[in-house]
Amino acid sequence: MFVSTTSCSVTKRPISSLYFAEQASEAAATPSPEMVALSESISSKLGMELSYPENDLGLYAFVADWLRTPYRFGGMSRRGTDCSGFVYRLYETVYETNIGRQSSADLMSQTARVSRDDLKEGDLVFFNIRNRRGGRASHVGVYLEDGKFAHATTRSGVIISHLSEPYYRRTYLGAGRVKK
C-alpha cells in the first residue's frame, strides 16, 4: 500500500517507509497524530484492529506493503517471493536481523520453540505442507496476532491466514522465536 503525501507535489511512498521515518524521530510517550493515522491506515489495509504502540507497526506496515506480492520460487523481492524469502526480507527490514536465506526446515531448527499459547508478534510458524517424512517444515510464516499469520503461498502470493483454518491446523508443526 502506498500513501500519498502532499506539499507542492504528490509523492507515493510505501507505508513502511512512513513508519520507519516516523519511528526514528519519535521521542514522546504519546503517539503522534501521524502514528495514529498510520495505525489506522494499516488497520484498514489488513482488515485488522491495530493500535500504536501496543502493536508492532513496523511488522504490520511491512506486511501491508508486501500483501499480494506474487509467489516466485527462490524469490525474495516485491516482484516475487517464496515463503522463506518473505520471512528473510521481513526480519532484515523490520528487526534489522539477518536470519540467513535458508529453507523452512533450517529456519525451524535455528529458533527457540514456542508453544501456540505463547506466540508473539514476529514469531515464526512452521508447517509440513508437503507431508515430508519426519515432520520436516516445508512452509514458514510470521505470526501477527489472534491466530493470524502472514506468509507467501504458491496460489495467492503474500496473504494473511488463520492458524484455525483446517488446512493450517492439519499441517501445523510448531512455532519458533528467532534467537537474537
- The half-sphere exposure of 120 on its side-chain side, counting CA atoms within 13 A, is 7
83 assigned to active site: yes
Among 179, 180, 96, 167, CA closest to 128: 167
**Cα–Cα distances in Å, from 166 out to 4, 8, 64, 121, 163?**
39, 51, 25, 22, 8
Rounded Cα gap, residues 66 and 60, in angstroms: 10
Concerning whether 8 is annotated as a catalytic residue, the answer is no
Query: Considering 138, 139, 141, 158, which one is annotated as catalytic?
Result: 139
The dihedrals phi and psi of 124, each to the nearest 5 degrees, come to -95, 140
- 15, 57, 59, 83: the catalytic one is 83
d(CA 145, CA 109) in angstroms, rounded, equals 23
Catalytic-role residue among 151, 152, 159, 161: 151
Instruction: Please say if 162 is a catalytic residue.
Output: no
CB 60 within 8 A of CB 148: no
- Could you list the active site residues? 83, 139, 151
